[in-house]
Amino acid sequence: MIHENILECIGNTPLIKLSRLFPERSMTVLAKMEMLNPGGSIKDRPALYMINEGLKAGIIKKGSHIVESSSGNLAIALAIACKIHQLKFTAVVDPKIASANLHMLKLYKANIEMVTEKDENGGYLKTRINTVKKLCEKLPDAVWINQYANPDNWKSHYFGEAEEIIRQMDGKPDYLVVGASTSGTIMGVSRRLKEEFPDLKIIAVDIVGSVLFGGTSGPRDIPGIGASAVPALLSPEEIDHVIYVDDYESALGCRELLEHEGIFAGGSSGSSVSAIKKLIPGIAEGSCVLTLLPDRGDRYLDLIYQDEWFEMVRHKHFSQQHLRPQNPVLQKVF
Ligand code: PMP
């Protein structure tokens, strides 16, 4: 089969068993390899879906200038989609963006607006959104994709990887473990899978320092997971539990994934691996746990895979242990 363009290669990612990393007898941990999308991440799916639906609805037209706030992966995915559809694109990014992502965006010839001021939560999300709003007032033909509130974000995952998982699974999953940021992935995947598997338990993974599920705002280094404001897409009542991990636990998860499975993954994949390690002792033998590995490790070479940074977060993890709740394994959200 010959594809017309790179956008047609998005999706149809494999589902693999992580049996070396999770050798516990009779437990199955399955991972959807979203990192294998052509733009390098799961965000190819919402980028393509939001652009296509915008074009269909006439909100996006020839000559439109797409504007979006992104920590990196969505920006790269939109840069590709805009190139194929010949649309102008401005990415509003912050200093936490991985240097490789910034370099790639420049190569794709995206316009880049770098914000520098932190918001009152100590993150950049609100500053980025304000910058998007100002750009939309200034730029003719600007269209704000708004991944934090656009229902086509969660729908891309509902019709995308969730549908594929249903086709790929032999049995039924008992737990879905997903890292959250805009929450488009967890909302979309869980809504579709619960139609098929009503007993499925939905476990969100959040990072210490994120405010998504009522956590206290604080410093965190890993991009892609967590948020400094609660997105409109998030419906916490649809989520059964949240498991918190910190930067160190996420990085450790990445390094274990590499060592045992030969999978070179990004930060939020490591967050999910660590969350599953916390989950397993508390669940029934024979359970099947499903997760997604959202992006590859290349963009994190100077963070997660850099020994000085790893030592720094390891030290922080152990020196601040007394500040964390004693048994943060399963926390009911609301
Ligand atoms: N992992 C990575 C690497 C991401 O880039 C993102 C999106 N920021 C997520 C997880 C979380 O996905 P969502 O925004 O759909 O919650």
CATH number at residue 243: 3.40.50.1100
Number of domains forming the structure of the chain: 2
Residue 265: inside a domain: yes
For residue 228, what are its two tokens? 């400094």
Asked whether the predicted pLDDT for residue 334 surpasses 80, the reply is no
Is 104 found in the same domain as 168? no
Q: Is the CB of 190 under 6 A from ligand 1?
A: no
Asked whether the predicted pLDDT for residue 328 surpasses 60, the reply is no
* Tens-digit pLDDT profile for residues 17-53: 999 999 987 899 999 999 999 999 999 999 999 999 9
71 CA: nearest ligand 1 atom:
8
Residue 152: inside a domain: no
* Tens-digit pLDDT profile for residues 207-220: 999 999 998 888 88
User: Which residues, in sequence order, are CB contacts of 21 under 8 Å at separation 6+?
Assistant: 29, 256, 257, 260, 261, 273
Is 194 found in the same domain as 116? no
Is 165 found in the same domain as 140? no
Is 192 found in the same domain as 311? yes
Give the predicted TM-score (pTM) of the model: 0.95
- Mean pLDDT for the stretch of residues 163-169: 98
Is 48 found in the same domain as 30? no
% of residues, the chain, pLDDT over 90: 84
**Do 8 and 23 contact (CB within 8 A), yes or no?**
no
**Distance from Cα 206 to the centre of ligand 1, integer Å:** 11
Spatial distance between the Cα atoms of 109 and 88, rounded to a whole number of angstroms: 9
Can you give the pLDDT at residue 323?
Answer: 63
Q: How confident is the model at residue 105 (pLDDT cuts 50, 70, 90)?
A: very high
Is 94 found in the same domain as 14? no
Is 167 found in the same domain as 243? yes
Is 117 found in the same domain as 59? yes
- Write the residue with the smallest CA distance to atom 14 of ligand 1: 182
* Tens-digit pLDDT profile for residues 179-226: 999 999 999 999 999 999 999 999 999 999 999 999 888 888 998 999
Residue 273: inside a domain: yes
Q: Is the CB of 231 under 6 A from ligand 1?
A: no
Domain containing residue 53: 44-147
Is 168 found in the same domain as 31? yes
Is 312 found in the same domain as 178? yes
Can you give the pLDDT at residue 327?
Answer: 41
Say which residue, 114 or 227, is predicted with more confidence: 114
